Amino acid sequence: MDLLTAERQLQAAQRAADVESLDALLHPQVVGAGPDGTVFTKEDDLAGYRSGALRITGLVEESLDIQEDGQTGVTRMVAAVDAVQGGSAVSARLRYTRLWVREDDNWRVLAATFVPVQ
């Protein structure tokens, strides 16, 4: 699988709250950081989808840049995102930066950040 395919699969899994696919695409040691500086683990992220505390109701990719170098890669995406988080509807235009590592020909996210953009 190439990195573009992995990124597209991750986006589809987020939209569908597909915990099984997210589990496969996220490295066991993944660490993420949100717009407010909150740091979260793989289990934190999966728990939000499992419980329904986080539901992505819309995700429209505006731009995507992919950089690969052997066993590592970076994706930088800007997307318009609509979600329900903790029972509140939120909409934002976000820049996601993800560090991917390749293991056994599968790409997995090792680190991620997302921040609002104008």
Q: Provide the 8-state DSSP code for 7.
A: H
Q: What percent of the chain has pLDDT over 70?
A: 100
- Give per-residue pLDDT as tens, 92-102: 999 999 999 99
pLDDT at 1: 87
The residue with greater pLDDT, 35 or 12, is 12
Residue ranges making up the domain that contains 109: 3-116
Q: In this structure, are residues 6 and 80 in contact, taking their beta carbons and an 8 Å threshold? A: no
Domain with 23 in it: what CATH number?
3.10.450.50
Q: How many domains does the chain have?
A: 1
Q: Is the dihedral of CA 46, 77, 108, 20 positive or negative?
A: positive
Q: pTM for the complete prediction?
A: 0.93
Whether 73 has a pLDDT exceeding 90, the answer reads yes
97 and 112 Cβ atoms separated by less than 8 Å: yes
Render pLDDT for 16-70 as a digit per residue (tens, 0 to 9): 999 999 999 999 999 999 989 999 999 999 999 999 999 999 999 999 999 999 9
pLDDT given for residue 26 in this prediction: 98
